[in-house]
Structure 1
Amino acid sequence: MDIRRVILATLLSALVLIGFDYFMPEEHKSPAAIQGKTTTAAAPPVATDQPEITSRDEAPARLPIDAADVKGSVNLHGARLDDLVLKGYHETVRPDSPLVRVLEARNEKEPTYVEFGWYGSAGETLKLPNAHTLWTTSAQKLGSDSPVVLTWDNGEGLTFEIDLSVDRDYMFTVTQKVRNATGAAVSLVPYSRVVRAYTPEETGGMLVHEGPVSVINGRLGEESYKSLREGSTAPNYVSWSKTGTGGWAGITDKYWLTAVMPEQTSDVAGTYGFDTTAGAYQVGFTGQKPLIAAPNGEAQITSHVFSGAKEVRLLERYQHEMNIPDFWKAVDFGWFAFLTRPVFFVLDWLYQFFGNFGLALLTFTLIVKAVFFPLASKGFRSAAAMRDVAPRMKEIRERFKDDPVQMNQQIMQLYKKEGVNPASGCLPLLIQAPVFWCLYKVLYVTIEMRQAPFVGWIHDLSAPDPTNIFNLFGLLPFDPAHFSSWLWLGAWPILYGITIWLMQKINPATIDPAQKPVFMMMPVIFTFFMARQPVGLVIYYCWNNLLTMAQQYMIIRRHGQKKNEPEIIPPPKASKKKG
């Protein structure tokens, strides 16, 4: 498999896998412009009443949260978890930049929040807590070591409680209780859901799922915002419903997740929906069986809320400690997860060893190249053998162009004589391609590379190279990218283009004159295309190209290049015509 085929295949796959989101962006509409479609999915009622306008700055109606890794507040109007930032993550690499916000109140710019509640069984008329309910609190603050109890009395013999606690990471425990002093049994059904009242810009494109996500009955469910909008209608605004035991469901971004988890032994209905009135996406669970609070008794149920960074090892720990099924699937490792996950763990181990994600990436690529060196050697030898016999193949095609059968026979004899297998050069590439694709996927989807520094001017491997040749790498006081994103061209993408040009030079191949201009333009096309990609990926490809060239040099030194002289093949004998 010669280098031009490798480059062409890489270019085409990159255009399809990465560039699709640039050329086919999803249309984003405002909630007011969206009309839902009729659905027949059975689901519990969805509360659409609006909360009291309570800003996160209004202290009297809020319970502060100050835990080990998160801070924010709980809206006491409706007991909503709607204000949360992550202490360990900033929006940019600047230490004074704002912390990443994962939950935001209804009246803020990007509202995302978590709701808990009850609804009565059919035929019962009970005064239940809703979005306007003002809860009282047992403490002044919720922390990692200081749980809080929220209480509300409906004045008709029912007292509702919500016990809240948070661990030292991103997991909240929520116990909903109802105490019954009415003198008669009360039947109630609990629910919990994540609500997002705006349509976000999806940054992951085809490579990363962003939006509603769930695991119910061991099956991963991923829906788009568009499918929820088109599938939901009044009165329940449900586009998707599935019953099962336990599981988890929520809304995911590229690096962040907010999800609710019922008791893993309880029968629940997981639902996706879009409330056209409120312009809100809703994902969550409702109990399949009502809880019965006996006279002078109580009923309770415990659920959990995760709201934070999708750190792979943390998700794995929660999965094992809390029996949350397939919680690691919140990170979109893709169809090749069976290979992508091991790649991540090896890369993460190297990161822990070196303390620098860039060095871990370079080391991992070197290890993979060493492991696959025998295959690469075989592929290069096969490509060299094909180049050696190319002149004789050309001569055979010219001599027997009017006799295809004889031409194919002569070519097969030539392959057999020289021990050449035209397909053997493809096999090493096919075996190595999934490994490097999985490495690419890991670098793109995992939060571990986000804002990870390398060396020099690279302070964030997940962002494009901050330098730009069009302003002389910062010497001129203007930003060319303001005119067009295609004018962003940093130092690392330029180095990457140079490595492609060098690969073409050290491995010359016979190229059709009609194709030559295309191959000459490939380094330029690749350079501009990769300029907008995360610089960590560009560094990886540069390093991979350099190692490929080094491998080829070693193979040539080790085995040499066979130079065969063209073999003269006699032309076919002219047939004698009988007179």
Structure 2
Amino acid sequence: MQPQDNSRNTVIFMVIAAIFLIGYSFFVWQPQEQRRAAEAKRTVAEQKLQTAPAAPSAPVFTTDRRVALAAGGARVPIRTETMTGSLSLNGGRIDDLFLTRYRETIDKDSPAVELFRPEGMRHAYFAQFGWSGQNVPGGVPGPNTPWRLTQGATLTPTAPITLVWDNGAGLRFTRRISVDEQYMFTVSDTVANLSTQAITIAPGAIVQRQGVPDDLGRNQILHEGAIGTFGDGTAFSTQQLKYKAWAKKEVQEHESTGGWLGITDKYWMAALIPAQDEKIQAEFRVRDQDHYDIHSATMIGEARTIQPNTQITETQSLFAGAKRNEILRGYERSHGIPRFIYAIDWGFLFFLTRPIFMVVEFFYGILGNFGLAILALTLTVRLIMFPLANKSYESMSKMRNLQPKMEDIKKKHPEDPQKQQVEIMALYQREKINPLAGCLPLLLQIPVFYAVYKMLFVTIEMRHAPFFGWIRDLSAPDPTTIWNLFGLLPWDPSSVPMIGGYLTGTFALSVLAIFYGLTMWLQMAMSPQAPDPMQRRLFQFMPIVFTFIMATFPAGLLIYWAWSNILTIFQQYIIMHRFKAENPIDTFLARFQKAKA
């Protein structure tokens, strides 16, 4: 039997080992396997293309955006403080959109983020509104309807536009499109029945994406794909459908009163929003997976019967933009959109992730830097856990002082582990020590650690948010690695063909990660040593392993964890001084003073 004094160290070791194994599998091994599979799939596809004649139905894409835009017919420019682009009069399609407040990279000359892309280009992405109906004389507006611009020249927040189409059989469709200062389009369709018979039609809208993002599969803890919130008008739930699951189940249908649905990326989303008192039929569909791989989110409203010489008006909305917390929350309140804030993938620990983000946002409002806000968050977490941690470190200090007595017991009964355990337990009882007390703060830190990582990963506020010095993006790994001599060489290791992903993944080692590893080593050195030599060696090895693992994590997470280690070290040092327990800091200072003398 193992002595009881090993129990605390065993628990800590198991927790750290579990974090290591899960973290390595989740963030290193799985992405590498997916990259290898994707490379192999592309290689096979390229070989097939080289050896087999092109299929007649194979898509041909243009890389020239101007050609694709011209093929869509006449256009109306879109200009706001947050967006630029155009919509096509052919079908009234919103298919050309850039988010001007965001750049593809941190470089100043980097192009604006593209959201919508016109058909004819690879990965076309657009939104369209229309009507459906059976046996309607003259038909209803469709994907290729030639709308006529009757009011406005450029769509801006202060200048809506009006489009008109007459079907030639007594139905006149008038569409008014407006856009606000952020990312919300409002589409009001008025249908006038000038014929002599009643007609029945239903409003509808679609967000369509051809293909999937090129970096799909790299973000293991993130939802990308179909998303929607559905309910009965009072209670709602949010449904998510990743691209891989979507491909397996080609059609998924939902009935709802109000709600919303669309297609989401990590930071961007296109979502259709009906009137919140209207019943809709929602559908997520994927088709033509061999060629265009078309993904669509569609909603159909209630059918309306329009009597002769009367008209109806249907108003729908389109959100097309960045999933910024305060913007989504503002639309949730002003437009009554249920659970719109959950367009951000807060994860299963949303009850921690959202409050942590709100705390960081609060500190950012005071300090003006998200890196400093993370430091303030860390201090807040440590203050909340201070009473529990204090008791834990007191117990650890007492155990450190008992190490000589525990060694005497082992020497006294070297061949009787059971007798060792009995006497060590009696020693714990006399000294009023709980050997497992030091594990609880560590266990409580694990969900907080995950929530901080999730917050850094999914919130656009963290994207390209600088700290100080070389840390220009808290949501990305530290760019200084051994492969660019810790930032001295002006090149990106990830750009190396074939092995770039491994250089910045498995074998990455950054300045921030090394600093984190040193703080982890010092914190573990201040804890009571494991009596078992094998455990002791494993504990000594763990900071080195975690230094390499954490190098691939966002810089903001390393700042959080390293600062948390520093606060822990300071707290432990004070308590160990109070209990006169030996600690490595005093030992080092004593040796330094002796060497200096």
Residue aligning to 1:216: 230
Measured after TM superposition, the shift of residue 558 of structure 1 is 3.0
Determine if contact 1:166/1:173 at 8 Å carries over to the other structure.
yes
Number of aligned residue pairs: give it.
535
Q: Which moved more, 1:464-473 or 1:193-202?
A: 464-473
Measured after TM superposition, the shift of residue 75 of structure 1 is 1.4
1:270-291 deviations in whole A, cap 9, x for unaligned?
A: 111102274210113112x311
SS across alignment from 1:140: coil
Paired AA for residue 284 in structure 1: T
Residue 403 to residue 513, structure 1, CA distance change in 2 (3 Å): closer
Determine if contact 1:17/1:206 at 8 Å carries over to the other structure.
yes
The CA distance in 2 between the partners of 1:516 and 1:412, in whole Å, is: 21
SS across alignment from 2:533: coil
Is 1:548 aligned with 2:561?
Answer: no
1:206-240 deviations in whole A, cap 9, x for unaligned?
A: 322111111101111011112222222xxxxxx21
Is 1:419 aligned with 2:435?
Answer: no
Measured after TM superposition, the shift of residue 476 of structure 1 is 4.6
Determine if contact 1:204/1:210 at 8 Å carries over to the other structure.
no
The CA distance in 1 between the partners of 2:142 and 2:299, in whole Å, is: 17
Among 452, 458, 465, the alignment partner of 2:465 is 452
Among 226, 229, 249, the alignment partner of 1:231 is 249
Measured after TM superposition, the shift of residue 126 of structure 1 is 4.9
The CA distance in 2 between the partners of 1:227 and 1:376, in whole Å, is: 43
Residue aligning to 2:57: none
Residue aligning to 1:485: 501
The CA distance in 1 between the partners of 2:278 and 2:72, in whole Å, is: 36
Q: How does 1:93-492 map to 2 (within 5 A)?
A: 93-121=106-134, 126-137=138-149, 138-200=151-213, 201-202=215-216, 205-217=219-231, 218-232=236-250, 239-276=251-288, 278-287=292-301, 289-389=302-402, 395=409, 399=413, 410-476=423-489, 479-481=492-494, 482=496, 483-488=499-504, 489-492=509-512
1:460-500 deviations in whole A, cap 9, x for unaligned?
A: 21222222333323445665442443434332122222222
The CA distance in 2 between the partners of 1:403 and 1:502, in whole Å, is: 31
SS across alignment from 1:105: coil
Give the alignment's TM-score, normalised by structure 2: 0.82
The CA distance in 1 between the partners of 2:20 and 2:520, in whole Å, is: 11
Determine if contact 2:187/2:316 at 8 Å carries over to the other structure.
yes
Measured after TM superposition, the shift of residue 429 of structure 1 is 2.8
Measured after TM superposition, the shift of residue 391 of structure 1 is 6.2
In structure 1, stretches of 5+ residues that fail to align are 34-49, 233-238, 564-579
Residue 204 to residue 292, structure 1, CA distance change in 2 (3 Å): farther
Which structure shows the higher helix fraction?
2
Q: Which moved more, 1:78-87 or 1:104-113?
A: 104-113
Query: Taking every aligned residue pair, what percent have the same amino acid on both sides?
Result: 39
Paired AA for residue 526 in structure 1: F
Measured after TM superposition, the shift of residue 365 of structure 1 is 0.8
Residue 459 to residue 407, structure 1, CA distance change in 2 (3 Å): closer
Paired AA for residue 487 in structure 1: L
Determine if contact 2:189/2:314 at 8 Å carries over to the other structure.
yes
Measured after TM superposition, the shift of residue 549 of structure 1 is 1.3
Residue aligning to 2:523: 503
The CA distance in 1 between the partners of 2:399 and 2:15, in whole Å, is: 15
Residue aligning to 2:50: none
Residue 474 to residue 160, structure 1, CA distance change in 2 (3 Å): same
Paired AA for residue 492 in structure 1: L
Residue 17 to residue 365, structure 1, CA distance change in 2 (3 Å): farther
Measured after TM superposition, the shift of residue 4 of structure 1 is 5.4
Measured after TM superposition, the shift of residue 142 of structure 1 is 0.4
SS across alignment from 1:56: helix
The CA distance in 2 between the partners of 1:229 and 1:381, in whole Å, is: 55
Paired AA for residue 511 in structure 2: A
The CA distance in 1 between the partners of 2:411 and 2:193, in whole Å, is: 92
The CA distance in 2 between the partners of 1:496 and 1:160, in whole Å, is: 63
Paired AA for residue 544 in structure 1: S
Paired AA for residue 250 in structure 1: G
Give the alignment's TM-score, normalised by structure 1: 0.85
Determine if contact 2:400/2:581 at 8 Å carries over to the other structure.
no
Paired AA for residue 504 in structure 1: M
